Structure 1
Amino acid sequence: MQSTETTSQGGGRLRGFALFSVLAALMLTLLLEALDQTVVGTALPRIIGSLNGFDRYTWVVNAYILASVTMVPIVGKLSDQFGRKWFLLAGAFVFLVGSILSGAAQTMNELIAFRALQGLGGGMGIALVFTVVGDIFTPAERARWQGIFGVVYGFSNLVGPAIGGWLTDHGPILGSLVSDATRWRWVFYINVPVGLLALLALLVYLPSDISQRTSTHTGWAAIRRVDWLGALLVSSATVGLLLGLTWGSNAIYAWNSAQVIGVLVASGLLYVLFFIVERLASEPVLPLDLFRNRVFSMALLLSFLQLMVLIGLTLYLPLFLQGVLGVSATNSGAAITPLTLSTVAGSAIASILVARFLRYRLVSIVSALIMTVGLLLLTRISTTISLFEMIIFMVITGLGLGPFFSVLQLAAQNSIPRNRLGVGTAAVRFVG
């Protein structure tokens, strides 16, 4: 690791305190924007009590996730065309504005709308933080730093519910602005001072030429080359897909209802149109020639499979713990903590091994074997299994699952040209 002099691959140069400031700001940005995916959940009962709107409470969380996921592929491509810095700053600014407005919301509909705005900024940040790390460091150095940022991301998802609960119960009271009944507003207000500090550090120390750009055009010529239709299609398709899955999983509509089937079919058709449009666009949101790169293609495929495993575990394990072993809802959430912790640990260990031995394939194969063993053990659970055995099985699975969060992104970044780091990193984060 070059602590005093690191050359950006896009031409910018970071040294000493400037490098430290940018890395700290990136970590704070990632921490805040990832926290907001989970931190609100434990505050929802108080929010509902204050704003009412029980029939819409899930959308306080879903609006953020929908907006953030939709932005990832779009901003990844735009940052390749026009540079990273100002998109990253814009995302941080939008996120902070959304945080302030969410904290000041007076109705449930207002809160949902402001959470969507917050999610747009959060999606921009989550997409670009890992990309900027790839810009700053050489391929040989990326493994160590991507692993550290992966741990920050996993840690934020782990502690989010606890922080949300603490702020809701013990946040400071500020006269008529924040009362005992509205302490939940600190879940959003706490982002502001930390976010402003990160925003200022990025504004001052992050070079504007940190990345290599794919577009040599400027002004309206560059804007006309933006793949507006592709961006519209991929965002519409993604919203439709997540909407259908949300309706079905939350039992808003039955899985075989016309609403769920209709929106999922429409989403599939929009994705087909998106890939057709990408073949013709001069600056596609997702350049299809990237799929000729076998490493990149396999990274995307494995990232998608890893997501399927993770979703299955997070949906099924709490259900089994509550419905079969009789664990309470609160304790079932705590009981799957070993899975989360071991996943973060697995990601960190894999990053260290890759940085030390530069063996992506070997680490991935061993991780897949460990994960498979853990999943096979979990398939053998029954009504007679003890909670201790369940924890052991979850730890094994998490240790095998965690490396895919860091190794796949790293392999994808190192296999594509530097001027496509944005779209490549965003694609991996989008599917996984």
Structure 2
Amino acid sequence: MSDPTPAVPVDKKSKRRVLEALSGLILGMFVSMLASTVVSSSLPVIVHDLGGDQAAFTWVVTATLLTTAISTPIWGKLADLVNRKVLYQLAIIIFIVATAAAGFSQDPATLIAFRAVQGIGAGGLAALGQVIMADIISPRERGRYMGLFGAVMALATVGGPLLGGVITDAWGWRWNFYVALPVAVAALITVQRNLRLPKREPRKVSIDYLGIVLLSASVSLLLIWVTMAGNQFAWWSLETVLMVGGAVVTAVLFVIFETRVREPLIPLSLFHNRTFTLSVVASIATGIAMFGASVFLSQYMQLARGVTPTQAGLMTIPMVAGLLISSVGVGALVTKYGHWKPYLVIGSVLLTAGAWLLSTIHYDTDFVLVSVYMFLLGGGVGMTMQNLVLVVQNTSRPEEIGVSSSGVTFFRSLGGTIGVSVMGAALAARVTDLVAQRQGDISAALASLGDEAPTWIEQLQSGPLPQVSAMPEALRVVFEDIYANGIAHSFLMVVPVAVVSILAIAFLPNVPLTRMTTSERESAAGADLATVTAPQAMQQLAATGPIAVVGGASDDVRAEEQANTDTERDS
């Protein structure tokens, strides 16, 4: 279904007010992205210095993703119950305090713990930013501003690894955790001064504490099992039975409890909405591709191509360029023409193609080809990530904007968490197998080192993640080939999930984007405008007068689009 109406020009004063209100959200997202990406290029160095192995490397990443995934629906639920502005400021504080504390870590366990707390704040920033945008901007106009968010995200994604590499090489990796502090303070001040949200009817707060515990237990047991199985214990063992069985039991209990509690953490009724269900499926693939690429491409550059953290940051620019161009360009096109589905389909195809091509790389693959593969993957992520949230918000009931938005973000983070854990476990197992298979080559390389051989034998047997760039050339070439093979094997695991996302997006209902903000839809619902037919809606709007909206669509267009949206959702 296409939108026959052209985009309406935005009043300059209204646009300026929107940009002022969004400035705090943009800074909050920037500080979240910067604090995360600034350490990505230096993680191999950090884990090596703290004495961690591949499992520790994976958990430094997945600890943040896990708590982000678990906390996202909690923040989303709170957003439907209490003051959203205060929640957003609280999320910024939690995030930045945990990030700064991580800079004092002396061992992998401490770093993982602080990164887990960091994820709680990141979940709030991810969920609340989308919800607040829906309060002040209609879905049709949101494409333009989501492009702006995409540009800022791309800036942080490009600048973060590069800045982190420079800081690590010049002053040490601990300073990576402090660089975002000034931006966080600016974000807090800007939100306080510029963000003014419409007043909402007070509601009695009811937090689903048991749901939080059950969800956390289920996801945590699953991820711990994926990370440890095959290393600390066998895949088929008592530990596997206990962990997988515990994850299944707690997941079933969570589903049963959510059907009975008054304010469920994730209302299961959301899955009656076909748009929500299919968007969740597609978001899982987007999360795996986005988080997996950011983690394992950094490892590929440093462990398979032997470059420094600074060089690794520069070498990931093609992926971010794809993300920047696609998110900004597609956002502008969605707002101008109202069509969103073709871009989602193209994005899912690009994501799948990029993941498959990255599964073919070797340590000596021409970097021009690697750059093209990264560009395709970045372009796919940029087209799908924000637009999946947009189409869900477009068909969700106003009172469920928080839980529906955070629901999609939750499953994207959950997919990324499980994906990174599975990819990390597969990488560790593959590297172990390849090291065993290449013992002859490794022994020959060590024999050629003469007096240095005992030193390198001790380092290889000590357990921490190796610093491949510091190895002698004969040994470095062998380990670059091993890690390139293992990382390519990990990317291959993304492809089947990405193919499923293409099918999910293909079956999404092509509902036109409404020009009404969430606040206006709530007002309309209060006047019974959300459930009447389009002609009735036009008559009532004509009697009550126009509703001011960013983007300024006429009253009859707004009422007709809202009626279409409600009809599609109910069907």
TM-score range for the pair, normalised by the shorter chain length? 0.7 to 0.9
Q: Does 1:240 find its partner at 2:240?
A: no
Partner of 2:537: none
User: Residues 29 and 198 of structure 1 are in contact (CA less than 8 Å); yes or no, is this contact kept in structure 2?
Assistant: yes
Q: Deviations over 1:53-82 (max 9, x none)?
A: 536853444433332222111111111111
* Counterpart Cα distance in 2 of 1:315 and 1:71: 21
User: Residues 22 and 205 of structure 1 are in contact (CA less than 8 Å); yes or no, is this contact kept in structure 2?
Assistant: yes
* Counterpart Cα distance in 1 of 2:14 and 2:295: 45
TM-score by length of 2: 0.61
Aligned-pair CA distance for 1:195: 0.9
CA 1:338–1:24: 2 relative to 1, 3 Å: same
Partner of 1:28: 27
User: Residues 373 and 396 of structure 1 are in contact (CA less than 8 Å); yes or no, is this contact kept in structure 2?
Assistant: yes
Percent of pairs with identical residues: 30
User: Residues 350 and 407 of structure 1 are in contact (CA less than 8 Å); yes or no, is this contact kept in structure 2?
Assistant: no
Partner of 2:193: 204
Aligned-pair CA distance for 1:197: 1.6
Partner of 2:332: 352
Aligned-pair CA distance for 1:287: 1.2
Equivalent position SS for 1:285: coil
Partner of 2:403: 423
Partner of 2:254: 274
Aligned-pair CA distance for 1:199: 0.9
Partner of 2:141: 141
TM-score by length of 1: 0.78
* Counterpart Cα distance in 2 of 1:64 and 1:322: 22
Partner of 2:126: 126
Aligned-pair CA distance for 1:284: 0.8
User: Residues 343 and 401 of structure 1 are in contact (CA less than 8 Å); yes or no, is this contact kept in structure 2?
Assistant: yes
**Matched ranges for 1:172-191 at <5 A:** 183-191=172-180
User: Residues 73 and 426 of structure 1 are in contact (CA less than 8 Å); yes or no, is this contact kept in structure 2?
Assistant: yes
* Counterpart Cα distance in 2 of 1:26 and 1:381: 38
Q: Does 1:156 find its partner at 2:156?
A: yes
Partner of 1:216: 203
1:298 to 259, 278, 281: 278
* Counterpart Cα distance in 1 of 2:350 and 2:193: 44
* Counterpart Cα distance in 1 of 2:294 and 2:46: 25
Aligned-pair CA distance for 1:137: 0.8
Q: Deviations over 1:287-335 (max 9, x none)?
A: 1111121222221121123334556767887899999xx7446678765
CA 1:421–1:252: 2 relative to 1, 3 Å: farther
Deviates more, 1:20-29 or 1:329-338: 329-338
CA 1:154–1:127: 2 relative to 1, 3 Å: farther
Aligned-pair CA distance for 1:43: 4.2
Equivalent position SS for 1:36: helix
CA 1:203–1:401: 2 relative to 1, 3 Å: closer
Q: Does 1:406 find its partner at 2:404?
A: no
Aligned residues: 399
Output the amino acid matched with 1:189. Y
User: Residues 69 and 411 of structure 2 are in contact (CA less than 8 Å); yes or no, is this contact kept in structure 1?
Assistant: no
* Counterpart Cα distance in 2 of 1:255 and 1:145: 47
Output the amino acid matched with 1:130. Q
Equivalent position SS for 1:282: coil
Partner of 2:98: 98
Aligned-pair CA distance for 1:36: 2.9
